[in-house]
Amino acid sequence: MSLKKGNGFGEWITKGSDIEKIKNQWIEISNSSLPILIVGERGVGKSFWIQKSLEKRNISESSIVHLDFSFTNSIEEKLGKLKSAKSNPTLMIDWITKAKKEDMISLQQWWKSEKYNEKSKLYLYWEIHSEEMDTFTQKNIYAEFYEQFKSFRFELPNLKKRISELPIFVHIFLEEANQTLSKKINSLDEDFYIFLKNKIFNRNYAELKDFIFALVGFSSGKHLQWKQIPSHFFENALSELDIQPGISLEQYEKEIIKANLIYTKGNREKAAKLLGISERNLYRKLHEFHLEDLS
């Protein structure tokens, strides 16, 4: 597939029809002083969206008070800064589920007094990691605080939910890699898209970007060829099968076949040997599980 020149790299995460609704809502809420909660997995661009809102609101770094509870520092001093701020302060919350109980009590008390203060104009940003959401479904002090803000949350989709926009992301990352690494790659085999569509990216767009940069770094010429890529690039695909109760053997069989086809870069003969079955039997399984595109 050939690649044409694109626009700036920084806006890639807002491109595509699926994200348009979130983008429009984000612009609207950034025109107000309402709190903003951003929810998402690792590598989906939470920091990017927050930064864009800060820019739209003309908020300088010097006015931001960071409450990152992954560190053990006491929050009393930082809450004091918010209370004594002469201009409109901005509070940035991160990893709240790691906060100590006494810190959460202090935060709750501060917010109760702040939200009824008509003279104050506070900007609040709260970055929520997907793994924290289970905590907010239980009865605890974290859930009590979350309940007051949940109406203002934005849930960012992961890469799997934006798979139709994969060519856009590959295009942008390839162009950026060319500039950074002084390469001139302008096309790649369609097999890459089949592989990327089926691969699990635990760090979403960030991991996809790292993968594209690695491909470009190890390649020469102007075209990325699937058969030239070393097998170690795909070895982790064999370790991504998540063993969970309640999943049928048929589903696991499909995933194991898929992983081995990815590992062998679509070579049916090699995949059949790794699986311990005949090539004819593998062909039948490919048709049964609709995996023909991988070979």
Query: For position 2, what pLDDT does the model report?
Result: 38
Tokens standing for 216? 């470009």
157-188 as b/e, with b when 16 or more CB fall inside 10 Å? bbbeebeebbeebbbbbbbbbbeeeebebbeb
Q: Cα angle vertex 176, ends 8, 126, to 5°?
A: 65
Taking only the tens place, the pLDDT of each residue in 239-290 is: 555 556 666 777 777 878 887 887 787 888 888 887 788 888 888 888 888 8
Q: Answer for the pair 38, 50: CB distance below 8 angstroms, yes or no.
A: yes
CA distances from 295 to 197, 215, 282, 287 (A): 14, 21, 11, 11
The Cα-based distances of 92 to 39, 115, 210, 267, 274 in angstroms read 14, 16, 28, 50, 51
CA distances from 19 to 7, 161, 170, 194, 203 (A): 18, 10, 17, 23, 18
pLDDT digits (tens, 9 = 90+) for 105-155: 999 999 988 876 767 789 999 999 999 999 999 999 999 999 999 999 999
pTM above 0.85, yes or no: no
Query: CB–CB of 242/255 below 8 Å?
Result: no
Strand partners, 155: 39
Question: Average pLDDT of 89-96?
Answer: 95
Reported as a single tens digit per residue, the pLDDT across 206-226 is 999 998 998 888 888 899 887
Q: Measured between alpha carbons, how far is residue 239 from residues 30, 167, 215, 260 in Å?
A: 42, 25, 20, 10
pLDDT value of residue 17: 67
Domain-wise residue ranges, the chain: 32-155, 159-294
Pick the more confident residue, 197 or 44: 44
CATH of 32-155, one of 2.30.30.90, 3.40.50.300, 3.40.30.10, 3.20.20.140: 3.40.50.300
Find out whether 226 and 189 touch, Cβ atoms under 8 Å.
Answer: yes
Q: Confirm whether 32-155 and 159-294 share one CATH topology.
A: no
Two structure tokens written together for 240: 């991504």
For residue range 29-86, list pLDDT tens digits in order. 999 999 999 999 999 999 999 999 999 999 999 999 999 999 877 788 888 888 887 7
Domain 159-294 is of which CATH architecture?
Answer: Orthogonal Bundle (1.10)
